[in-house]
């Protein structure tokens, strides 16, 4: 590579992508490999580019350039159920090859990023992802690095992977005497069904019961006898006299992992295991905050058999005020 003034680059091969940045965003102005023309000179200068890297007659075998580095490191850090997609401007994308839950080795990511030359940027670990979704990006900062420097980075392996969903069949138990009696329309089913459709789960059992412990218990038993692999129970989760759901779950003999989770909204959530069947019981707040709530945080994990511990749930208080939460005065 040689650095030359744009006027002197006419007829030469551009060595890397040049970028246009404007009010409408950033885009590639001229791609690597483009042969620079006289018309390109003004276009480059209008974008603030007065010098460009062009390909030289000889390339040092000791150097790797940003596009090679990005793909090489991405292939090292990408683990199970991911694939690599080359991107522009010294980047490589890591994509999910399945529906599942994203796992990130935060310690390894931090160490890699401390080096400063190559950065791994990911979606939030333990979040649900779908097939062909972007889950990580490798970005290379310098234009080139010595091969030995790049090889040193290849010790960072499998930093990002996706655990596929191992459960697919969901049972939904809607509680509320007012809904059961037809006084009020249920608004929760569509919220849960939207997640099922997104992640490829199937709702195989769905019922509405009044605020009655025995009826809630019977609905859960019926769901399990119908072969569901996880159960979502809605409503009746606080401490009002009519709120019967937590006690019904306990009476079933379920092992309660958490009742009350440190997130806002939907703090009044219970996570429990009834033998091998996870139960997620969530307060009515998930209706009003239907775009993002405890369902999004916990249900993908339960469906991937990544059952959270009490310690993991306790740590969720850091960042637990979700972006869509609006405090009531």
113 and 204: one domain? Answer: no
Quickly state the pLDDT bin for 35 (edges 50, 70, 90). confident
pLDDT of residue 57 exceeding 60, the answer is: no
160 and 174: one domain? Answer: no
β-sheet with 134-140: strand ranges across:
82-86, 91-96, 134-140, 118-122
Asked if residue 69 is part of any domain, the answer here is yes
158 and 180: one domain? Answer: no
21 and 95: one domain? Answer: no
107 and 145: one domain? Answer: yes
124 and 209: one domain? Answer: no
215 and 293: one domain? Answer: yes
Q: How many domains are contained in the chain? A: 3
Quickly state the pLDDT bin for 329 (edges 50, 70, 90). low
In sequence order, what are the beta bridge partners of 129?
100
Give me the domain span that covers residue 144. Answer: 63-164
43 and 69: one domain? Answer: no
174 and 308: one domain? Answer: yes
Annotate 29-45 with three-state secondary structure. EECCCCECCHHHHHHHH
233 and 296: one domain? Answer: yes
Tokens of 201: 């789960």
pLDDT, tens digit (0-9, with 9 covering 90-100), for 181-197: 999 999 999 999 999 99
Question: Which CATH number is 293's domain given?
Answer: 3.40.980.10
12 and 49: one domain? Answer: yes
Asked if residue 320 is part of any domain, the answer here is no
Consecutive H or E run containing 273: strand 269-274
- pLDDT for position 87: 81
pLDDT of residue 143 exceeding 80, the answer is: yes
pLDDT of residue 19 exceeding 80, the answer is: no
DSSP state of 304: T
Average pLDDT, the chain: 91
188 and 300: one domain? Answer: yes
Q: Per-residue DSSP letters for 82-96?
A: EEEEE-SSSEEEEEE
pLDDT, tens digit (0-9, with 9 covering 90-100), for 84-134: 998 877 899 999 999 999 999 999 999 999 999 999 999 999 999 999 999
Asked if residue 321 is part of any domain, the answer here is no
């Amino acid at each position: 590579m040689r650095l030359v003034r744009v006027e002197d680059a006419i007829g030469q091969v551009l060595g890397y992508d040049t970028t246009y940045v404007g009010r409408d965003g950033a885009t590639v102005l001229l791609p690597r490999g483009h042969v620079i023309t006289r018309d390109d000179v003004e276009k480059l200068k209008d974008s603030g580019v007065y010098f460009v890297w062009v390909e030289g007659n000889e390339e040092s075998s000791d150097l790797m350039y940003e596009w090679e580095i990005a793909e090489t490191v991405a292939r090292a850090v990408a683990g199970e159920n991911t694939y690599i997609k080359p991107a522009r401007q010294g980047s490589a994308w890591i994509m999910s090859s399945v529906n599942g839950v994203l796992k990130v080795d935060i310690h390894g990511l931090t160490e890699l990023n401390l080096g400063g030359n190559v950065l791994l940027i990911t979606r939030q670990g333990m979040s649900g992802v779908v097939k062909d979704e972007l889950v990580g990006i490798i970005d290379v900062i310098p234009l080139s690095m010595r091969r030995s420097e790049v090889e040193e980075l290849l010790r960072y392996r499998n930093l990002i992977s996706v655990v596929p969903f191992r459960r697919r069949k969901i049972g939904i138990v809607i509680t509320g005497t007012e809904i059961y009696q037809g006084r009020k329309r249920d608004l929760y089913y569509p919220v849960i069904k939207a997640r099922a459709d997104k992640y490829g789960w199937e709702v195989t059992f769905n019922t509405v019961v009044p605020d009655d412990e025995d009826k809630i218990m019977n609905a859960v038993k019926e769901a399990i006898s119908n072969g569901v692999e996880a159960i979502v129970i809605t409503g009746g989760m606080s401490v009002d006299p009519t709120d019967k759901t937590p006690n019904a779950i306990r009476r079933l003999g379920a092992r309660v992992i958490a009742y009350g989770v440190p997130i806002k909204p939907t703090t009044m959530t219970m996570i429990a295991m009834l033998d091998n069947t996870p139960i997620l019981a969530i307060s009515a707040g998930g209706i009003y905050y239907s775009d993002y709530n405890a369902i999004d945080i916990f249900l993908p994990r339960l469906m991937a058999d990544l059952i959270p511990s009490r310690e993991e749930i306790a740590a969720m208080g850091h960042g637990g005020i979700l972006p869509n939460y609006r405090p009531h005065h």
